[in-house]
Structure 1
């Protein structure tokens, strides 16, 4: 009995096992089906995204791969770690500044606390040690974002970020992303993971001028990175995501929140223990800016300009797309953000070391010119809270033979006044801008110095003249001499209309960096710009006029060399000139500017130069005289001088305005002493006829106007003769004694009108529907028919037939269009339904998978 029970129990156990095994197989099969279904959907999405991606970006991707490989071949260790300080050489090859920032703060991976790189990896690139420069998940994210219209953004690895920080501009595009990936993979082949971490942490930007983690620790916490707490280390790593948002001095709560997130990730990934985590999150920090932490203060105006010039040259070599005019405020803001990132990146590379920058800086000449400006401004001794003089001045001098900046005087030279206003400070230029935006373009149109323009204000939108009156018709030469605002405003408006280009177009072409979308307005002709211009930009604009209308970028550097290879990566010969104004327009403008000091009523009539009789000048005064200018040129030099308060305040024009003229005079007298007194070179396209300058542009304009007038007169004569002949024919018909013949004549005309009406094509599209136009013409014809056939007749029948046919045609076209629209709407609705069904299926599959796992 016991054996039988045992056998029975055994059978039951076997049956239970079989049932469990079968159920397990069913459950496994069900789970497998669910997994495979989800996998199939994912594969389908990936294939769809990939196909879309390569269809849309195929050629762009191929070009970017080639560019990435080309750049990757040039990667060197010295790109990340500079062993040689950057040196700035003067015109005689003597070192006037040595920059050693990276050499002082650079920390190798071995000497850096491991917690720093671990904090970075935990928040920025969890799979850093697994990938080879590009994370495949990040690549998938980019493809899907592109396919779904979300742009080409995607997660970047630390290696990719290093490539972007060192080599690429901040432009967001598919080509930049692909180029970045190619270079990142090349970087991983060349260097170890520890080297890449070292290079990244020593080159990334932390805000407040700090590049590199060690420099940042000194700036924010006043000590080396190895001496900071775990919370402070996490805080600094958090800053790299966005130095503005996570600034520990101005946005402590944001910085603390991100630091705690980093600590949480470090704990979860096993980099720190629970005890370390709890202690760090309970900790606090006090951050403040330690201004002496960075030894990269450029206290020389000329050196500051040299580094700025070099930075822009290197940005251009990295294919940064400089932009000076914009279609919208959003575009302008986007560009300014990209520019700042790109500029700071290159600027830091120069400061960190590795370059030899040869300049044309003449320190002795600079000191002389600084003395002229400082001594002239000594009459104003008031100082502000920062101990700097309240009333400041700035000046730029350009050599007209080369286009080089000879001197950049950024302030009055008192101790601590290191801000170079000459190329950094945007101020309203007042009337000093008139030659560039009003007169030169007007001469481009063919006007002459003797052309007259009324000084009367047509309406209240026009600016007042500084003399608060109208002098009637003025020649352009006289108008500039007395600085008529009305004439300058009128010329700017006419220039825009006739030349069909924005008023600020010449300024944009001459790289004025303070232009705004709102500056396409004739008010800028009297200095009413949104932001303004610098003395360097004003000087380069006038120098362009002297150089026969050819613009040259204002730099004070001759060459740039890489110290590690000795390669010369820039020379002045690389610069190209850009034609802004025609030769004759530029010359006429310079000649007109002579009247400003030659005419008895000119705004600079009291100004005389010791060594030159051939020179041009223009003064500028803004509302309430907040900004005062004197800009001008001899054949040898161009000088632009500004004076005013750093925070714009009304000035005494008589004294401060005179100071700008005195600085201009003394500077020109110093520079031109000993040089031959020659006139500006007159181009072959300008001739003197009957004691006035005549240009090729004006002659062309006169010929065209003469021909146009003759053509208009001839056309008017032909039109008159045609009308007279038609009237004679009509009169002959009307004078016939037979009424039937007159009626027939009218019927024929109306019948022809109906035929013409029948030939009008009916158009119905997304943007056009000309039924109302047809109906309007039809009503006009019907009115004529009623005059001839008030009770109906053959014309009425003919008209009705045409009108009904057109109604049918219109109804047909309209119906077809509506049918197409309905089809499209149906397709959209069907696509939405399918999308919802797919979402539902995926949701059900996920639910089944969860149940299977349970």
Structure 2
């Protein structure tokens, strides 16, 4: 065997060959440093090359290191595939980007303020029974607390939208990717948002479908989930979600679809409301009956989900039937009575320091009024039947007709019905609360009440009772303690009555008697009594003069109702109440406590009631008998028949109706001559007829109650007047100085002994000093000025029940001291 080194395969290297003699570039491909010569020779021998080729693959010197062979380049389709190093590097890079993006996004995206549309609400006005009267905001939303939503309804929403809400994280990545994939693959747009994300979208962001909005939603949801509880988020979601029918929030939805508060919604109804969240308009089976099948399927899906989650029993589920929603209701605008009611309620809240205007304007208040829907509807119907339906476009006077009405429960002071006008969008002024029409003879009962309450006597010392005789002569001069006062009002149609009892004078609304009675009691005391009964002390023209008896003051219909309710309540008065409850976001606003006091003695109030019953039984108010109830009341007419009134009450209800005349273009008050096809409108006509129909309807189904009266002692005794002081026809020339001079004001305190007139009696004659004896003041004479016209028709259009016609040459002016006239000096 040769002594030469052998190859691993046993073949020796060619003789005489030395690896070091080979050029560097002749090394065989694939030689690797560190491999021994025998390895290389083996590789070379394996090729079957020539001796020179074998020498290329031969071994190097023993122990010498060789270069690592190069990796062959990839060719063909393999070149398109990334290496495992590239894949790993890419994954690491994406992870770093995502982590960095998440950290940056979490730091940069803050929870913003709520968007305006999400917080906008309406003030909701309700009847006493909770049914909606009106909403005064642009957005139909009413926020509530989660506790107000029945638990089954909560579960229905969760079953419909997010069954794992209480156990899941703020965002559901898997659902988001699934929804995105389904959208991309044409399976329709699908929601992958949790309730938290939906709430963020509703409350903080908007509905636009953009990547930027979705990124913000993602980060805000995560932050919000750390800052608010699940209950808070769920409550916000229920208050901001849209349910169709312009209803935002589940409370508004309950009203829109089932006309009830959410607390009264059944499980089946709640499941339908929850179904609407998926497609509010499409699933409304009333507006889209063709989609009822899909809506019912969604409803079933919700209920089945509740059963699956053990939120509803299978038996209860099986017994449920689909609850069809109510008809679509038109938007609650301010038309009809709504605007008047809102206006009156807001005035009440501000005037009683419950809420100021700015606070009320923030919206979101739920205001329950004292108005009763049955009575409200009855009042509107009565006005329509007795007044508005009788107007005609062919009669010019009918365009001036206005009506105001109010009704109060005497026992509680609650306003149960109100009529402000034919339509708030057509007539903006509330005729029930306006204070610019004279109340006329409806004020006279306050004079008598004051007389009884103060134990007043006539000028000759006789106690004033229903049977006290007065002189009812037309244009009789009112006598004061110092003699004639200069005021001689005309009676209705210039009719003289001679000696007449107070009760009869009330039946016939005799101005001469009540003007004298006001002087006997003291005009200041009369005013005080009226204020105590409920007439506001700042009422225009509530002036302490003899003419106060004939109603020159301009109290509102509501104020007059308040005062008559005090008479019906046996003289006990408390401020009327128009609001029963106020809440915002489920939190109650404190309302003032109502207190009452005895404004006048029960005997004074009840004795007044006794003579007002006579007015209905056989006086000017007989039309009120149509109510079919024991009733008391008084008619009245303002100056020149610009308003006609009936104020009356039963033991259970006090109501005042006024028909007014006003030019719809200029707003100027107009006489009602010719309106409703009648020569004149008086309190015993349309107002009393309206009162009767309304009262009968409002009290229908309730037991008939009679008045329980405690009369002043001695009211049945008739004491004859002295001949001098009360002789019929005593008009007495006033002992007055000429116009412009100053006279001593007469005292309002009745004398203890009969007074003697200081002027001789006369059957005719006009008082000097310009007294308006029932005619029309031409505007030139007041307090001693000259009356520019002679009243030949003379009716006191302000004091008389039925008004009066001025046939004098003067121009129509103020209340004819048949409501006003010339006042005694010192009375202004």
> What range is the shorter-chain TM-score in?
0.3 to 0.5
- Structure with the greater relative contact order (CA < 8 A, sep ≥ 6): 1 or 2? 2
With the length of structure 2 as denominator, give the TM-score of the two structures.
0.43
With the length of structure 1 as denominator, give the TM-score of the two structures.
0.41
Higher CA-based Rg:
2
